[in-house]
Amino acid sequence: MTDFDLDAYFARIGYGGPARADLATLSALHAAHVAAIPFENLDPLAGRPVHLDLGHLQAKLVAGRRGGYCFEQNHLFRGALEALGFAVAGLGARVVWMSPPGSPLGARTHMLLRVDLDGRPYLADVGFGAHLLDAPLRLEAGPEQATPVARYRLQQEGELIALAVHRDDDWRRAYVFDLAPQLPADYAIANWFCATNPDVVFTNMLVAERLTPAARFNLVNTRLVERRPGAPPSERTLASADELARVLDEVFDIAPPVPAAELFAKIAGPAVPA
């Protein structure tokens, strides 16, 4: 197992607080991670492999001015938490974000984390690119949980737990999961499927999100949406490869792995809802 460079990770996310395995540190790291390391799927979109070992992840997401999607983000976050002494288990979820009510469930194509602290479990997830979480949640169904920038609740649905997000004056289910720990082989198969299957979102669409204390930025293909607390969303359509390059650089702090013109050629087309 590759050693985890906590100093480099802390510098990457701009964290200068205590290095302790407690809730305050977990919450601070969670918020700093999603503000600094954007969700993005540029490698699958460009036909490049996605590696989940900590050596590759630290080179890409920590040293390389890149982000990643859920498997990369949460493997990296898990590495940091375990280096600090947290007790962490990896879980798998089935995404239902854009699914009509009653739709059959899909495969476990999302990774999230269970963190146990002082006898209480928490859900940590820095990699849900449809709606990034800014803080860990108590892993208990029922009560609404408010974070600094959003509202969530966990709902018991038979043997599954659903994460619901309050957005646009309504509750929207994000994903469903159970508490069965996932093996490295489970993530390897799901990651390979998401990174290579020609029919999945990640090989066909550009998806990027960054969540700072001031704003949430979503990019889906050429549609950029900015949401700030207390203000209606603003959006615009990127009209050129040069504009895409500027947004990746200035909004998401991403140095793309291929020229922006190559990416723009893949995504220019009808707008897609975020």
List the catalytic residue out of 33, 125, 131, 134: 125
Has 75 been annotated as catalytic? no
Lookup: tokens for 2 = 């590759």
Three-class SS state of 81: helix
Output the furthest CA–CA distance in the chain (Å, rounded). 52
Q: Are 160 and 177 in contact (CB under 8 A)?
A: yes
Give CA–CA dist 49/191, Å, rounded. 10
Alpha helices in 141-238 (DSSP H): 184-196
Has 70 been annotated as catalytic? yes
Three-class SS state of 252: coil
List the catalytic residue out of 30, 33, 51, 70: 70
Has 194 been annotated as catalytic? no
Beta-bridge mates of residue 167: 170
Give CA–CA dist 271/274, Å, rounded. 9
Give CA–CA dist 11/248, Å, rounded. 21
Give CA–CA dist 41/39, Å, rounded. 7
CB half-sphere exposure, 36, CA atoms < 13 A: 20
List the catalytic residue out of 110, 131, 134, 194: 110
Residues carrying an active site annotation = 70, 110, 125
